[in-house]
């Protein structure tokens, strides 16, 4: 009797937590298709606010900025983070454990601390070298700073679980180290690299603090535009924009989870085959 009761309590508690987390998001999505402009009552379903958003030049510019920043920073962070994660997993060198510990620091730091540090750093480079004007380039570099550790940690975890004997077998068959890496290691690392890239893209798309502090005229991203719209007063167009951002983030998160699940399933099948 205790087990069904315990399951019931856990089920009710889980449902309450999920409602607490997602009801506000659902309210924003509902408001984005509410014909009543002020949202005081339900005025019927309408896609008008999405159409109006499509004619909003500021929103389109901010959307383009967000996609540019997310894509560029994700590519840079994925390449550098994958190399760093693989190196930490495969090569022993003095200070490796210290480097792995330092790598976690940007993950643990509050966003505002890292953003202010970047603002001060780029301010000094602008003063000493005359470069580092606020704009898209600084936002991209700032995003790479907090994306790279996430990618490196994901790829490192993936590389740690790979059997080094596979690379050794490829080299025993005559493959050069580069050819063995390209033909054997890289395909095995691909799920981790892709998962890290999707995670980095999501982090960039959702970032507000770093983009807010490092943006210049005409370089606002979607979160910065949403913040400015909220300060001026909520509008259905802001609800529509927020819903699109949430939808893009949700798709990226689901894709990341699906890749990790497929990765775990592949690893499990490989172990069963070896057994």
| pLDDT, tens digit only, all 275 positions of the chain | 456 767 778 888 888 888 888 888 888 888 888 888 776 788 888 888 888 888 888 888 888 898 899 999 999 999 999 999 988 888 777 777 787 778 888 888 888 898 999 999 988 888 888 777 888 999 999 999 999 999 999 999 888 877 777 777 777 777 777 787 777 888 888 888 988 898 898 889 889 999 999 988 888 888 888 888 777 777 788 888 888 878 877 887 777 777 767 766 655 555 555 55
Q: Does 1.10.4190.10 match the CATH number of domain 73-265?
A: no
CB 175 within 8 A of CB 183: yes
The reported pLDDT for the residue numbered 1 is 47
The reported pLDDT for the residue numbered 141 is 93
Residue 117 CB neighbour total at 10 angstroms: 14
The reported pLDDT for the residue numbered 75 is 95
Q: Where are the alpha helices (DSSP H) in the chain?
A: 2-31, 48-54, 57-90, 96-103, 105-108, 111-129, 136-160, 164-172, 177-180, 186-206, 209-214, 222-232, 236-274
The reported pLDDT for the residue numbered 77 is 95
The reported pLDDT for the residue numbered 267 is 55
* Cross-strand pairs, 34: 45
pTM score, whole prediction: 0.78
The reported pLDDT for the residue numbered 181 is 78
Beta carbons within 8 Å of 162's beta carbon, 6+ residues apart? 185, 188, 189
């Amino acid at each position: 009797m205790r087990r069904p009761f315990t399951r019931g309590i856990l089920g009710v508690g889980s449902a309450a937590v999920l409602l607490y987390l997602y009801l506000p998001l659902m309210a924003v999505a509902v408001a984005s298709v509410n014909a009543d402009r002020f949202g005081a009552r339900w005025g019927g379903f309408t896609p008008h606010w999405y159409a109006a958003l499509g004619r909003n030049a500021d929103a389109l510019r901010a959307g383009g900025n967000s996609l540019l920043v997310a894509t560029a920073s994700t590519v840079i962070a994925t390449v550098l983070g994958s190399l760093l994660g693989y190196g930490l997993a495969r090569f022993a060198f003095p200070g490796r454990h210290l480097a792995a510990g330092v790598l976690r620091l940007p993950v643990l730091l509050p966003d505002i601390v890292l953003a202010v540090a970047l603002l001060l750093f780029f301010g000094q480079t602008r003063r000493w070298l005359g470069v580092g004007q606020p704009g898209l380039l600084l936002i991209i570099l700032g995003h790479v700073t907090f994306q790279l550790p996430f990618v490196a940690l994901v790829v490192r975890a993936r590389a740690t679980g790979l059997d080094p004997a596979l690379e050794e077998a490829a080299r025993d068959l005559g493959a050069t180290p580069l050819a063995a890496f390209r033909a054997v290691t890289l395909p095995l690392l691909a799920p981790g690299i892709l998962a890290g890239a999707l995670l980095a893209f999501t982090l960039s798309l959702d970032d507000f603090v770093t983009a807010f502090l490092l943006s210049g005229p005409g370089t606002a991203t979607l979160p910065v535009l949403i913040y400015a719209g909220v300060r001026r007063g909520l509008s259905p167009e802001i609800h529509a924009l927020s819903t699109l951002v949430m939808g893009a983030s949700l798709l990226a998160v689901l894709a990341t989870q699906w890749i990790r699940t497929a990765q775990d399933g592949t690893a499990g099948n490989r172990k069963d085959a070896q057994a």
